[in-house]
Structure 1
Amino acid sequence: MGFIAFIVLGLIAGAIAKAIMPGEQGGGWFVTMILGVVGAILGGWLGSLLLNVSLGGFFDLRSWLLAIVGSLIVLGIWGAVTGRKRV
């Protein structure tokens, strides 16, 4: 997967994770984009480390699931660090 495709995957995964995560996490669209890209990196790393599954192509379901799960983890950590309440 190319660099631009990876960035786009992270951006979309961050938006999906923010829609899935209950409560208000704070941060605007820029923070969501950054957290999505970081989450995609984390998801790919955890997938290769724990599940022996790596990020495939842009349209690979495993890539999307790993990126979204990674974004959920990063968004949860962001909410805990910034002290936002979750409903």
Structure 2
Amino acid sequence: MSILAWVVLGLLAGAIAKAIYPGYQGGSILGTMFLGIVGAILGGTLVNLLETGSFTLTAASFSIPGLFVAVLGAMIAIFLYYKLARRVY
């Protein structure tokens, strides 16, 4: 996948995941893009693990199902981030 496709998929998946996930998630456009790219890698790896049973790092493709997988992966990444980086007041 080309760099432009990574950027577009990252922006779309990150923005959709931030809109769906409850609560406020700060961050810039670059943070949203990074979240979407991490989501695409996380989601693609999980789908590959469920389909084939082997663990290989793969990314979601630039398609409608790939966008769906990337959004799910980005939502998992948001959840894990807030669980691991919980602020104590």
For Structure 1 versus Structure 2, the TM-score category normalised by the shorter chain is 0.7 to 0.9
Question: What residue ranges of structure 1 are gaps of 5+ in the alignment?
Answer: none
RCO greater where, 1 or 2, for CA within 8 Å and sep 6 or more? 1
Number of equivalenced pairs: 81
1:64 is displaced (CA, Å) by: 0.9
Give structure 2 stretches of 5+ with no counterpart. 53-58
Aligned to 1:69: 72
Q: Deviations over 1:15-65 (max 9, x none)?
A: 10000000123333332221111111111111112134x734x2x221111
Q: 4+ residue runs of structure 1 moved beyond 4 angstroms?
A: none
Q: Which has the larger radius of gyration?
A: 2
Structure 2-normalised TM-score?
A: 0.74
Identity %: 47
The one-letter code sitting in structure 1 at the alignment partner of 2:69 is L
TM-score, length-scaled by structure 1? 0.75
